[in-house]
Structure 1
Amino acid sequence: MEEFQTYKQMYLEYLQIEKNASPLTVENYSIDMDEFAKFLQAEQLKFVDCDYSSIRIYLSQLHANLLSRRTVSRKISSLRSFFRFLEREQMVTKNPFLNVSLPKEANPIPDFFYQEELKHLFTVSDKKNPLGQRNQALIELLYGTGIRVSEATRIELHDIDLSLSTLLVHGKGRKERYVPFGQFASQAMQSYIEDGRRVLQQKNSSPTPVLFLNSKGGPLTARGIRMILNKMVEDAALTVDIHPHKLRHSFATHMLNEGADLRSVQELLGHEHLSSTQIYTHVTKDRLRHVYMNSHPRANK
Protein backbone atom coordinates (compact mmCIF):
# COMPACT_ATOMS: atom_id res chain seq x y z
CA MET A 1 0.00 0.00 0.00
CA GLU A 2 2.96 2.34 0.53
CA GLU A 3 3.73 2.14 -3.17
CA PHE A 4 0.08 2.93 -3.98
CA GLN A 5 0.15 6.00 -1.73
CA THR A 6 3.30 7.23 -3.46
CA TYR A 7 1.70 6.92 -6.89
CA LYS A 8 -1.47 8.49 -5.57
CA GLN A 9 0.45 11.55 -4.38
CA MET A 10 2.18 11.84 -7.77
CA TYR A 11 -1.18 11.72 -9.50
CA LEU A 12 -2.75 14.37 -7.23
CA GLU A 13 0.19 16.68 -7.95
CA TYR A 14 -0.35 16.04 -11.67
CA LEU A 15 -4.01 17.03 -11.30
CA GLN A 16 -3.13 20.24 -9.46
CA ILE A 17 -0.17 21.39 -11.56
CA GLU A 18 -0.78 20.09 -15.07
CA LYS A 19 -4.58 19.77 -15.19
CA ASN A 20 -5.39 22.84 -13.03
CA ALA A 21 -8.02 20.78 -11.23
CA SER A 22 -10.08 22.53 -8.55
CA PRO A 23 -9.35 21.76 -4.86
CA LEU A 24 -12.73 20.02 -4.60
CA THR A 25 -11.94 17.75 -7.57
CA VAL A 26 -8.56 16.84 -6.09
CA GLU A 27 -10.18 16.08 -2.74
CA ASN A 28 -12.86 13.85 -4.33
CA TYR A 29 -10.28 11.96 -6.41
CA SER A 30 -8.17 11.44 -3.30
CA ILE A 31 -11.16 10.01 -1.42
CA ASP A 32 -12.01 7.70 -4.34
CA MET A 33 -8.45 6.36 -4.48
CA ASP A 34 -8.30 5.80 -0.71
CA GLU A 35 -11.54 3.83 -0.86
CA PHE A 36 -10.19 1.76 -3.74
CA ALA A 37 -6.98 1.11 -1.76
CA LYS A 38 -9.07 -0.24 1.15
CA PHE A 39 -10.87 -2.55 -1.28
CA LEU A 40 -7.55 -3.87 -2.62
CA GLN A 41 -6.29 -4.45 0.90
CA ALA A 42 -9.46 -6.31 1.90
CA GLU A 43 -9.24 -8.49 -1.23
CA GLN A 44 -5.47 -8.96 -0.74
CA LEU A 45 -4.80 -7.55 -4.20
CA LYS A 46 -1.95 -5.42 -5.52
CA PHE A 47 -3.03 -2.57 -7.76
CA VAL A 48 -0.59 -3.70 -10.48
CA ASP A 49 -2.44 -7.04 -10.61
CA CYS A 50 -5.93 -5.54 -11.04
CA ASP A 51 -7.91 -6.88 -13.96
CA TYR A 52 -11.48 -6.58 -15.21
CA SER A 53 -12.76 -9.39 -12.95
CA SER A 54 -11.44 -7.71 -9.79
CA ILE A 55 -12.92 -4.39 -10.89
CA ARG A 56 -16.32 -6.07 -11.30
CA ILE A 57 -16.14 -7.15 -7.65
CA TYR A 58 -15.35 -3.56 -6.67
CA LEU A 59 -18.29 -2.24 -8.70
CA SER A 60 -20.66 -4.76 -7.14
CA GLN A 61 -19.64 -3.45 -3.72
CA LEU A 62 -20.33 0.14 -4.81
CA HIS A 63 -23.82 -0.84 -5.95
CA ALA A 64 -24.39 -2.82 -2.76
CA ASN A 65 -23.74 0.37 -0.81
CA LEU A 66 -26.69 1.97 -2.68
CA LEU A 67 -24.57 4.78 -4.09
CA SER A 68 -26.17 7.01 -6.71
CA ARG A 69 -25.35 6.50 -10.37
CA ARG A 70 -23.67 9.91 -10.41
CA THR A 71 -21.36 8.92 -7.53
CA VAL A 72 -20.49 5.57 -9.09
CA SER A 73 -19.75 7.29 -12.41
CA ARG A 74 -17.42 9.75 -10.70
CA LYS A 75 -15.53 6.98 -8.92
CA ILE A 76 -15.10 5.03 -12.16
CA SER A 77 -13.94 8.15 -14.01
CA SER A 78 -11.44 9.16 -11.33
CA LEU A 79 -9.92 5.67 -11.08
CA ARG A 80 -9.84 5.23 -14.85
CA SER A 81 -7.97 8.53 -15.09
CA PHE A 82 -5.60 7.45 -12.30
CA PHE A 83 -4.71 4.20 -14.08
CA ARG A 84 -4.34 6.08 -17.38
CA PHE A 85 -1.75 8.25 -15.62
CA LEU A 86 0.01 5.15 -14.24
CA GLU A 87 -0.02 3.58 -17.70
CA ARG A 88 1.48 6.71 -19.22
CA GLU A 89 4.22 6.72 -16.57
CA GLN A 90 4.83 2.99 -17.27
CA MET A 91 3.94 2.01 -13.69
CA VAL A 92 1.27 -0.44 -14.88
CA THR A 93 0.88 -2.31 -18.15
CA LYS A 94 -2.91 -2.08 -18.46
CA ASN A 95 -5.86 0.00 -17.36
CA PRO A 96 -8.45 -2.30 -15.76
CA PHE A 97 -11.09 0.44 -15.90
CA LEU A 98 -10.66 1.02 -19.65
CA ASN A 99 -13.66 -1.08 -20.75
CA VAL A 100 -15.89 -0.37 -17.75
CA SER A 101 -18.97 1.51 -18.92
CA LEU A 102 -20.40 4.34 -16.87
CA PRO A 103 -23.94 3.84 -15.53
CA LYS A 104 -26.48 5.93 -17.37
CA GLU A 105 -27.51 8.91 -15.32
CA ALA A 106 -31.02 10.21 -14.93
CA ASN A 107 -31.55 13.88 -15.74
CA PRO A 108 -33.74 15.22 -12.94
CA ILE A 109 -35.16 18.71 -13.27
CA PRO A 110 -33.06 21.07 -11.13
CA ASP A 111 -34.73 22.27 -7.96
CA PHE A 112 -35.37 26.02 -7.95
CA PHE A 113 -37.24 28.76 -6.11
CA TYR A 114 -40.39 30.31 -7.49
CA GLN A 115 -40.15 34.08 -7.67
CA GLU A 116 -42.79 34.51 -4.95
CA GLU A 117 -40.65 32.41 -2.61
CA LEU A 118 -37.58 34.48 -3.38
CA LYS A 119 -39.39 37.70 -2.51
CA HIS A 120 -39.64 36.51 1.10
CA LEU A 121 -35.96 35.58 1.26
CA PHE A 122 -34.91 39.09 0.25
CA THR A 123 -36.79 40.64 3.18
CA VAL A 124 -35.57 38.59 6.16
CA SER A 125 -32.11 40.12 6.68
CA ASP A 126 -31.71 42.87 9.26
CA LYS A 127 -29.85 45.43 7.17
CA LYS A 128 -29.01 47.54 10.23
CA ASN A 129 -26.34 45.13 11.52
CA PRO A 130 -23.13 43.86 9.84
CA LEU A 131 -24.19 40.21 9.51
CA GLY A 132 -27.57 41.19 8.09
CA GLN A 133 -25.86 43.42 5.52
CA ARG A 134 -23.52 40.58 4.63
CA ASN A 135 -26.38 38.10 4.27
CA GLN A 136 -28.31 40.49 2.04
CA ALA A 137 -25.28 41.09 -0.18
CA LEU A 138 -24.65 37.34 -0.32
CA ILE A 139 -28.14 36.29 -1.40
CA GLU A 140 -28.45 39.19 -3.85
CA LEU A 141 -25.14 38.24 -5.47
CA LEU A 142 -25.82 34.49 -5.57
CA TYR A 143 -29.18 34.98 -7.23
CA GLY A 144 -28.11 38.02 -9.26
CA THR A 145 -25.16 36.29 -10.92
CA GLY A 146 -25.81 32.54 -10.66
CA ILE A 147 -22.29 31.92 -9.36
CA ARG A 148 -21.44 28.75 -7.45
CA VAL A 149 -21.16 28.87 -3.66
CA SER A 150 -17.50 27.82 -3.95
CA GLU A 151 -16.94 30.77 -6.30
CA ALA A 152 -18.59 33.15 -3.85
CA THR A 153 -16.11 32.16 -1.13
CA ARG A 154 -13.20 33.12 -3.42
CA ILE A 155 -14.38 36.62 -4.32
CA GLU A 156 -11.96 39.35 -3.26
CA LEU A 157 -12.61 43.08 -3.11
CA HIS A 158 -10.55 43.82 -6.22
CA ASP A 159 -12.73 41.37 -8.23
CA ILE A 160 -15.72 43.73 -7.92
CA ASP A 161 -16.31 46.76 -10.13
CA LEU A 162 -19.29 48.60 -8.68
CA SER A 163 -19.10 51.36 -11.30
CA LEU A 164 -19.52 48.86 -14.16
CA SER A 165 -21.57 46.37 -12.11
CA THR A 166 -19.32 43.46 -13.08
CA LEU A 167 -17.67 40.69 -11.11
CA LEU A 168 -14.55 38.68 -11.95
CA VAL A 169 -15.36 35.07 -11.04
CA HIS A 170 -12.67 32.45 -10.39
CA GLY A 171 -14.36 29.29 -11.58
CA LYS A 172 -13.59 25.60 -11.92
CA GLY A 173 -10.19 24.61 -13.25
CA ARG A 174 -8.89 28.13 -12.53
CA LYS A 175 -10.99 29.49 -15.36
CA GLU A 176 -12.06 33.10 -15.02
CA ARG A 177 -15.11 34.89 -16.38
CA TYR A 178 -16.78 38.27 -15.98
CA VAL A 179 -20.45 38.36 -15.01
CA PRO A 180 -22.71 41.39 -14.64
CA PHE A 181 -24.99 42.06 -11.67
CA GLY A 182 -28.01 44.32 -11.23
CA GLN A 183 -28.94 47.29 -9.06
CA PHE A 184 -30.22 45.27 -6.09
CA ALA A 185 -26.95 43.33 -5.81
CA SER A 186 -24.93 46.50 -6.38
CA GLN A 187 -26.69 48.43 -3.61
CA ALA A 188 -26.49 45.51 -1.18
CA MET A 189 -22.77 45.00 -1.80
CA GLN A 190 -21.94 48.68 -1.57
CA SER A 191 -23.77 48.94 1.76
CA TYR A 192 -22.01 45.83 3.07
CA ILE A 193 -18.52 46.86 1.89
CA GLU A 194 -18.76 50.40 3.24
CA ASP A 195 -20.39 49.48 6.54
CA GLY A 196 -20.89 45.88 7.67
CA ARG A 197 -17.68 44.44 6.23
CA ARG A 198 -15.56 47.17 7.84
CA VAL A 199 -17.03 46.27 11.25
CA LEU A 200 -16.44 42.54 10.74
CA GLN A 201 -12.89 43.13 9.46
CA GLN A 202 -11.97 44.90 12.71
CA LYS A 203 -12.60 41.66 14.63
CA ASN A 204 -9.67 39.99 12.88
CA SER A 205 -6.07 41.08 13.46
CA SER A 206 -5.07 39.64 10.08
CA PRO A 207 -6.78 41.61 7.27
CA THR A 208 -8.10 39.55 4.35
CA PRO A 209 -9.13 40.73 0.85
CA VAL A 210 -11.97 38.16 0.76
CA LEU A 211 -15.38 39.81 0.28
CA PHE A 212 -17.59 37.68 2.51
CA LEU A 213 -16.47 37.44 6.14
CA ASN A 214 -17.74 35.39 9.06
CA SER A 215 -18.68 36.78 12.47
CA LYS A 216 -15.01 36.70 13.56
CA GLY A 217 -13.76 38.60 10.52
CA GLY A 218 -12.30 35.58 8.74
CA PRO A 219 -13.22 34.27 5.27
CA LEU A 220 -16.70 32.77 5.05
CA THR A 221 -16.67 29.09 4.04
CA ALA A 222 -19.05 27.17 1.79
CA ARG A 223 -20.41 25.41 4.88
CA GLY A 224 -21.00 28.82 6.47
CA ILE A 225 -22.95 29.97 3.43
CA ARG A 226 -25.14 26.87 3.57
CA MET A 227 -25.93 27.57 7.22
CA ILE A 228 -26.80 31.20 6.41
CA LEU A 229 -29.16 30.19 3.61
CA ASN A 230 -30.87 27.58 5.78
CA LYS A 231 -31.41 30.18 8.52
CA MET A 232 -32.86 32.65 5.99
CA VAL A 233 -35.31 30.03 4.71
CA GLU A 234 -36.31 29.32 8.30
CA ASP A 235 -36.78 33.04 9.05
CA ALA A 236 -38.86 33.45 5.90
CA ALA A 237 -41.15 30.65 7.17
CA LEU A 238 -40.74 28.78 3.90
CA THR A 239 -41.53 25.08 3.80
CA VAL A 240 -38.94 24.39 1.12
CA ASP A 241 -35.59 22.67 1.10
CA ILE A 242 -32.48 24.61 0.19
CA HIS A 243 -29.08 23.45 -1.00
CA PRO A 244 -26.00 25.35 -2.21
CA HIS A 245 -26.98 25.24 -5.89
CA LYS A 246 -30.64 26.19 -5.51
CA LEU A 247 -30.13 29.93 -6.08
CA ARG A 248 -27.93 29.10 -9.09
CA HIS A 249 -30.68 26.84 -10.46
CA SER A 250 -33.20 29.62 -9.85
CA PHE A 251 -31.04 32.17 -11.67
CA ALA A 252 -30.72 29.97 -14.77
CA THR A 253 -34.39 28.94 -14.78
CA HIS A 254 -35.69 32.49 -14.44
CA MET A 255 -33.30 33.85 -17.06
CA LEU A 256 -34.40 31.27 -19.63
CA ASN A 257 -38.07 31.66 -18.74
CA GLU A 258 -37.79 35.38 -19.36
CA GLY A 259 -36.29 34.90 -22.82
CA ALA A 260 -32.50 34.74 -22.34
CA ASP A 261 -30.74 32.60 -24.96
CA LEU A 262 -29.04 29.37 -23.95
CA ARG A 263 -25.53 30.41 -25.04
CA SER A 264 -25.61 33.55 -22.89
CA VAL A 265 -26.78 31.62 -19.83
CA GLN A 266 -24.05 29.03 -20.50
CA GLU A 267 -21.42 31.78 -20.45
CA LEU A 268 -22.84 33.39 -17.32
CA LEU A 269 -22.87 30.06 -15.47
CA GLY A 270 -19.36 29.18 -16.61
CA HIS A 271 -20.41 25.86 -18.14
CA GLU A 272 -17.83 24.32 -20.46
CA HIS A 273 -20.44 22.30 -22.38
CA LEU A 274 -23.84 23.47 -23.57
CA SER A 275 -25.35 20.16 -22.45
CA SER A 276 -24.75 21.22 -18.83
CA THR A 277 -26.94 24.29 -19.41
CA GLN A 278 -29.68 22.47 -21.29
CA ILE A 279 -31.01 20.92 -18.07
CA TYR A 280 -32.47 24.36 -17.33
CA THR A 281 -34.62 24.50 -20.47
CA HIS A 282 -37.58 23.13 -18.54
CA VAL A 283 -40.34 25.61 -17.80
CA THR A 284 -42.44 26.00 -14.69
CA LYS A 285 -46.07 24.96 -14.72
CA ASP A 286 -47.09 28.56 -14.16
CA ARG A 287 -45.05 29.73 -17.14
CA LEU A 288 -46.40 26.92 -19.32
CA ARG A 289 -49.99 27.70 -18.35
CA HIS A 290 -49.43 31.41 -19.00
CA VAL A 291 -48.09 30.70 -22.49
CA TYR A 292 -50.98 28.34 -23.23
CA MET A 293 -53.70 30.69 -21.99
CA ASN A 294 -52.32 33.56 -24.03
CA SER A 295 -51.54 31.62 -27.17
CA HIS A 296 -54.20 28.97 -27.81
CA PRO A 297 -57.25 30.30 -29.69
CA ARG A 298 -59.65 28.13 -27.64
CA ALA A 299 -58.06 28.75 -24.23
CA ASN A 300 -60.32 31.67 -23.30
CA LYS A 301 -63.71 32.83 -24.42
Structure 2
Amino acid sequence: MSQDVLGALSMANVRDYQYYMAERGWSTATVQRRLVSLNRFGVWLVKRGHAKTNPLAEMELPRKRRPLPRVVDWEILAAAVRAESKSRDAAILGVLVYAGLRRGEVVGLSVGDFAPMAATLHVLGKGNKDRLISLPKPAQRMLKAYLASRPEVRPEAPLFVTAAGPRITHKVVTRVVHRIAERIGRHLHPHMFRHSYATELLDRGADIRDIRDLLGHESVATTEIYTHVSAARQRRVVELLEKPVARRPKAKTLAAKEAGAIRSASVPPPKND
Protein backbone atom coordinates (compact mmCIF):
# COMPACT_ATOMS: atom_id res chain seq x y z
CA MET A 1 0.00 0.00 0.00
CA SER A 2 1.43 3.40 -0.97
CA GLN A 3 2.67 5.80 1.68
CA ASP A 4 0.42 8.50 0.19
CA VAL A 5 -2.67 6.50 1.22
CA LEU A 6 -1.29 5.83 4.69
CA GLY A 7 -0.34 9.45 5.13
CA ALA A 8 -3.82 10.62 4.19
CA LEU A 9 -5.29 8.59 7.03
CA SER A 10 -4.58 11.06 9.83
CA MET A 11 -6.54 12.71 12.61
CA ALA A 12 -6.17 16.10 10.92
CA ASN A 13 -7.67 14.86 7.66
CA VAL A 14 -10.48 13.00 9.41
CA ARG A 15 -11.28 16.15 11.41
CA ASP A 16 -11.50 18.12 8.15
CA TYR A 17 -13.81 15.40 6.83
CA GLN A 18 -16.00 15.81 9.91
CA TYR A 19 -16.25 19.56 9.27
CA TYR A 20 -17.20 18.82 5.66
CA MET A 21 -19.98 16.44 6.75
CA ALA A 22 -21.26 18.96 9.28
CA GLU A 23 -21.40 21.70 6.63
CA ARG A 24 -23.39 19.38 4.38
CA GLY A 25 -25.90 18.83 7.18
CA TRP A 26 -25.41 15.09 7.42
CA SER A 27 -27.08 13.35 10.33
CA THR A 28 -25.16 12.30 13.43
CA ALA A 29 -25.88 8.65 12.62
CA THR A 30 -24.36 9.00 9.13
CA VAL A 31 -21.27 10.74 10.49
CA GLN A 32 -20.86 8.02 13.11
CA ARG A 33 -21.08 5.24 10.53
CA ARG A 34 -18.46 6.83 8.29
CA LEU A 35 -16.03 7.49 11.13
CA VAL A 36 -16.46 3.95 12.44
CA SER A 37 -15.66 2.61 8.96
CA LEU A 38 -12.49 4.69 8.82
CA ASN A 39 -11.45 3.51 12.27
CA ARG A 40 -12.01 -0.12 11.27
CA PHE A 41 -9.88 0.48 8.20
CA GLY A 42 -7.12 1.72 10.51
CA VAL A 43 -7.44 -1.45 12.61
CA TRP A 44 -7.24 -3.54 9.42
CA LEU A 45 -4.04 -1.76 8.34
CA VAL A 46 -2.37 -2.66 11.65
CA LYS A 47 -3.48 -6.31 11.48
CA ARG A 48 -2.15 -6.69 7.92
CA GLY A 49 1.16 -5.04 8.77
CA HIS A 50 0.65 -1.95 6.61
CA ALA A 51 0.86 0.36 9.65
CA LYS A 52 2.44 0.07 13.09
CA THR A 53 -0.38 1.87 14.87
CA ASN A 54 -3.91 2.94 14.08
CA PRO A 55 -3.78 6.73 13.58
CA LEU A 56 -7.49 6.99 14.41
CA ALA A 57 -7.39 5.01 17.65
CA GLU A 58 -8.07 8.11 19.78
CA MET A 59 -10.83 9.42 17.53
CA GLU A 60 -14.01 10.47 19.38
CA LEU A 61 -17.37 9.83 17.77
CA PRO A 62 -20.11 12.48 17.89
CA ARG A 63 -22.87 11.60 20.33
CA LYS A 64 -26.39 11.16 19.13
CA ARG A 65 -28.81 13.71 20.49
CA ARG A 66 -31.47 12.07 22.58
CA PRO A 67 -34.78 13.76 21.79
CA LEU A 68 -37.04 14.66 24.67
CA PRO A 69 -40.14 12.49 24.95
CA ARG A 70 -43.33 13.95 23.50
CA VAL A 71 -46.09 14.20 26.04
CA VAL A 72 -49.77 15.09 26.08
CA ASP A 73 -51.60 16.56 29.06
CA TRP A 74 -52.36 13.48 31.14
CA GLU A 75 -55.80 14.79 32.15
CA ILE A 76 -56.79 14.97 28.47
CA LEU A 77 -55.81 11.33 28.00
CA ALA A 78 -57.55 10.22 31.19
CA ALA A 79 -60.76 11.98 30.16
CA ALA A 80 -60.64 10.38 26.70
CA VAL A 81 -60.19 6.94 28.27
CA ARG A 82 -63.10 7.44 30.65
CA ALA A 83 -65.31 8.36 27.67
CA GLU A 84 -64.52 5.11 25.81
CA SER A 85 -67.66 2.99 25.48
CA LYS A 86 -66.13 -0.32 24.38
CA SER A 87 -65.08 -2.27 27.48
CA ARG A 88 -62.07 -3.98 25.90
CA ASP A 89 -60.70 -0.79 24.37
CA ALA A 90 -61.33 1.12 27.60
CA ALA A 91 -59.34 -1.50 29.51
CA ILE A 92 -56.48 -1.36 26.99
CA LEU A 93 -56.35 2.42 27.24
CA GLY A 94 -56.69 2.17 31.01
CA VAL A 95 -53.45 0.22 31.45
CA LEU A 96 -51.72 2.64 29.07
CA VAL A 97 -52.75 5.83 30.83
CA TYR A 98 -52.92 4.57 34.46
CA ALA A 99 -49.99 2.12 34.40
CA GLY A 100 -47.67 3.44 31.66
CA LEU A 101 -47.26 0.06 29.98
CA ARG A 102 -45.40 -0.44 26.74
CA ARG A 103 -47.47 -1.64 23.79
CA GLY A 104 -45.83 -5.07 23.83
CA GLU A 105 -46.47 -5.40 27.55
CA VAL A 106 -50.19 -4.78 26.99
CA VAL A 107 -50.29 -7.44 24.29
CA GLY A 108 -48.49 -9.98 26.49
CA LEU A 109 -50.79 -9.71 29.53
CA SER A 110 -52.69 -12.76 30.72
CA VAL A 111 -55.90 -12.84 32.76
CA GLY A 112 -54.04 -14.10 35.84
CA ASP A 113 -51.69 -11.11 35.73
CA PHE A 114 -54.46 -8.92 37.11
CA ALA A 115 -55.08 -9.41 40.83
CA PRO A 116 -58.35 -7.61 41.69
CA MET A 117 -58.05 -8.12 45.46
CA ALA A 118 -54.50 -6.75 45.60
CA ALA A 119 -55.21 -4.15 42.88
CA THR A 120 -51.98 -5.06 41.10
CA LEU A 121 -50.87 -6.00 37.62
CA HIS A 122 -47.99 -8.39 36.95
CA VAL A 123 -46.05 -7.23 33.90
CA LEU A 124 -43.37 -9.02 31.91
CA GLY A 125 -41.21 -6.25 30.51
CA LYS A 126 -38.11 -5.91 28.36
CA GLY A 127 -35.57 -8.67 28.80
CA ASN A 128 -38.23 -10.89 30.42
CA LYS A 129 -38.00 -8.83 33.60
CA ASP A 130 -40.99 -9.04 35.91
CA ARG A 131 -42.49 -6.15 37.82
CA LEU A 132 -45.62 -5.64 39.87
CA ILE A 133 -47.60 -2.44 39.36
CA SER A 134 -50.24 -1.03 41.68
CA LEU A 135 -53.30 0.07 39.73
CA PRO A 136 -55.38 3.18 40.46
CA LYS A 137 -59.10 2.61 40.95
CA PRO A 138 -60.16 3.78 37.45
CA ALA A 139 -57.89 1.17 35.83
CA GLN A 140 -59.21 -1.50 38.20
CA ARG A 141 -62.81 -0.68 37.27
CA MET A 142 -62.06 -0.82 33.55
CA LEU A 143 -60.36 -4.21 33.80
CA LYS A 144 -63.14 -5.64 35.97
CA ALA A 145 -65.81 -4.37 33.58
CA TYR A 146 -64.03 -5.99 30.64
CA LEU A 147 -63.45 -9.30 32.42
CA ALA A 148 -67.11 -9.39 33.45
CA SER A 149 -67.89 -10.07 29.79
CA ARG A 150 -65.61 -13.15 29.93
CA PRO A 151 -66.73 -14.83 33.18
CA GLU A 152 -65.37 -18.33 32.57
CA VAL A 153 -61.96 -17.40 31.21
CA ARG A 154 -58.93 -19.20 32.68
CA PRO A 155 -55.99 -17.36 34.36
CA GLU A 156 -53.50 -18.42 31.69
CA ALA A 157 -55.71 -17.08 28.88
CA PRO A 158 -54.74 -13.83 27.13
CA LEU A 159 -56.12 -10.79 28.91
CA PHE A 160 -56.96 -8.91 25.73
CA VAL A 161 -58.40 -10.85 22.81
CA THR A 162 -59.92 -10.10 19.43
CA ALA A 163 -63.57 -10.77 18.56
CA ALA A 164 -62.47 -14.10 17.07
CA GLY A 165 -60.80 -15.18 20.31
CA PRO A 166 -56.99 -15.08 19.92
CA ARG A 167 -54.65 -12.68 21.67
CA ILE A 168 -54.57 -9.14 20.29
CA THR A 169 -51.60 -7.92 18.28
CA HIS A 170 -49.57 -4.72 18.46
CA LYS A 171 -51.66 -3.33 15.61
CA VAL A 172 -54.83 -3.60 17.67
CA VAL A 173 -53.35 -1.40 20.41
CA THR A 174 -52.20 1.12 17.81
CA ARG A 175 -55.67 1.23 16.19
CA VAL A 176 -57.35 1.80 19.56
CA VAL A 177 -54.97 4.70 20.26
CA HIS A 178 -55.47 6.19 16.79
CA ARG A 179 -59.23 6.14 17.28
CA ILE A 180 -58.82 8.13 20.50
CA ALA A 181 -56.46 10.52 18.69
CA GLU A 182 -59.10 11.25 16.05
CA ARG A 183 -61.67 11.86 18.76
CA ILE A 184 -59.59 14.47 20.64
CA GLY A 185 -57.90 15.90 17.55
CA ARG A 186 -54.34 15.12 18.63
CA HIS A 187 -51.51 13.07 17.18
CA LEU A 188 -50.99 10.08 19.49
CA HIS A 189 -49.04 6.85 19.54
CA PRO A 190 -49.06 4.22 22.32
CA HIS A 191 -45.72 5.24 23.84
CA MET A 192 -46.93 8.81 24.37
CA PHE A 193 -49.25 7.45 27.07
CA ARG A 194 -46.19 6.10 28.87
CA HIS A 195 -44.37 9.43 28.58
CA SER A 196 -47.39 11.34 29.85
CA TYR A 197 -47.87 8.89 32.73
CA ALA A 198 -44.28 9.32 33.93
CA THR A 199 -44.34 13.10 33.56
CA GLU A 200 -47.63 13.38 35.44
CA LEU A 201 -46.29 11.33 38.35
CA LEU A 202 -43.20 13.54 38.45
CA ASP A 203 -45.35 16.69 38.36
CA ARG A 204 -47.32 15.40 41.33
CA GLY A 205 -44.18 14.94 43.39
CA ALA A 206 -43.50 11.21 43.01
CA ASP A 207 -39.97 10.05 43.76
CA ILE A 208 -38.07 9.38 40.55
CA ARG A 209 -36.89 6.02 41.91
CA ASP A 210 -40.50 4.90 42.35
CA ILE A 211 -41.27 6.03 38.80
CA ARG A 212 -38.28 4.01 37.59
CA ASP A 213 -39.69 0.88 39.24
CA LEU A 214 -43.18 1.47 37.82
CA LEU A 215 -41.82 1.92 34.30
CA GLY A 216 -39.46 -1.05 34.58
CA HIS A 217 -36.33 0.98 33.81
CA GLU A 218 -33.05 -0.67 34.71
CA SER A 219 -31.40 2.60 35.70
CA VAL A 220 -32.76 5.83 37.14
CA ALA A 221 -30.66 7.61 34.50
CA THR A 222 -33.19 6.44 31.88
CA THR A 223 -36.06 7.85 33.92
CA GLU A 224 -34.33 11.18 34.49
CA ILE A 225 -35.15 12.30 30.95
CA TYR A 226 -38.67 13.06 32.23
CA THR A 227 -37.24 15.71 34.56
CA HIS A 228 -36.48 17.76 31.43
CA VAL A 229 -40.11 17.82 30.29
CA SER A 230 -41.76 18.30 33.69
CA ALA A 231 -42.81 21.96 33.73
CA ALA A 232 -44.30 21.64 37.20
CA ARG A 233 -41.03 20.29 38.62
CA GLN A 234 -39.05 23.12 37.06
CA ARG A 235 -41.58 25.64 38.39
CA ARG A 236 -41.19 24.30 41.93
CA VAL A 237 -37.44 24.68 41.65
CA VAL A 238 -37.41 28.27 40.41
CA GLU A 239 -40.05 29.26 42.97
CA LEU A 240 -37.37 28.71 45.60
CA LEU A 241 -35.85 31.98 44.39
CA GLU A 242 -39.13 33.81 45.05
CA LYS A 243 -39.35 32.85 48.72
CA PRO A 244 -37.83 35.21 51.33
CA VAL A 245 -34.75 33.85 53.03
CA ALA A 246 -33.83 34.67 56.63
CA ARG A 247 -30.72 36.84 56.75
CA ARG A 248 -27.67 34.90 57.76
CA PRO A 249 -25.53 36.29 60.61
CA LYS A 250 -22.23 37.76 59.53
CA ALA A 251 -19.18 35.63 60.18
CA LYS A 252 -17.58 38.14 62.65
CA THR A 253 -20.79 38.50 64.68
CA LEU A 254 -21.21 34.75 64.85
CA ALA A 255 -17.59 34.25 65.93
CA ALA A 256 -17.94 36.90 68.65
CA LYS A 257 -21.06 35.20 70.02
CA GLU A 258 -19.31 31.84 70.09
CA ALA A 259 -16.27 33.35 71.87
CA GLY A 260 -18.53 34.98 74.46
CA ALA A 261 -20.28 31.70 75.10
CA ILE A 262 -16.94 29.94 75.62
CA ARG A 263 -15.72 32.60 78.09
CA SER A 264 -18.98 32.40 80.04
CA ALA A 265 -18.67 28.64 80.30
CA SER A 266 -15.05 28.87 81.53
CA VAL A 267 -15.75 31.35 84.41
CA PRO A 268 -16.60 29.40 87.60
CA PRO A 269 -19.80 30.41 89.41
CA PRO A 270 -19.38 32.49 92.65
CA LYS A 271 -19.18 30.50 95.88
CA ASN A 272 -21.88 30.94 98.51
CA ASP A 273 -20.53 31.87 101.96
**TM-score bin (small chain):** 0.5 to 0.7
Tell me if structure 2 keeps the 8 A contact 1:208–1:219: no
Quick check: 1:230 aligned with 2:178?
A: yes
Which residue number corresponds to residue 259 of structure 2?
Answer: none
Which residue number corresponds to residue 192 of structure 2?
Answer: 246
User: TM-score w.r.t. structure 1 length?
Assistant: 0.57
Distance 1:284 1:176, change over 3 A: closer
Quick check: 1:157 aligned with 2:111?
A: yes
Distance in 1, matches of 2:166 and 2:27, equals 36
Distance 1:295 1:166, change over 3 A: farther
Which residue number corresponds to residue 110 of structure 1?
Answer: 69
The one of 229, 240, 257 equivalent to 2:203 is: 257
Question: Alpha-carbon deviations, 1:167-195, whole Å to 9, x = none?
Answer: 11111111111111111010110010011
Distance 1:261 1:192, change over 3 A: same
Tell me if structure 2 keeps the 8 A contact 1:145–1:181: yes
Q: Which amino acid in 1 is paired with 2:119?
A: S
Question: Alpha-carbon deviations, 1:116-166, whole Å to 9, x = none?
Answer: 42244124311xxxxx10111111111211111101111001111010011
5+ residue gaps, structure 1, are 1-55, 57-63, 81-97, 127-131, 202-206
Question: Alpha-carbon deviations, 1:243-271, whole Å to 9, x = none?
Answer: 22111111111111111111111111111
Distance 1:294 1:233, change over 3 A: farther
User: TM-score w.r.t. structure 2 length?
Assistant: 0.63
Tell me if structure 2 keeps the 8 A contact 1:155–1:169: yes
Q: Count residues with an aligned counterpart.
A: 201
CA RMSD of aligned residues (A): 3.6
Q: State the percentage of identical aligned residues.
A: 29
Q: What secondary structure does 2:188 align onto?
A: coil
Structure with the greater alpha carbon radius of gyration: 2
User: Per-residue deviation at 1:294?
Assistant: 9.2
5+ residue gaps, structure 2, are 1-13, 15-23, 41-56, 245-273
Q: How do 1:8-157 residues align onto structure 2 when only pairs under 5 Å count? A: 69=29, 103-126=62-85, 132-157=86-111
Distance 1:118 1:244, change over 3 A: closer
Q: How do 1:145-294 residues align onto structure 2 when only pairs under 5 Å count? A: 145-195=99-149, 197=150, 209-235=157-183, 237-238=184-185, 240-285=186-231, 288=234
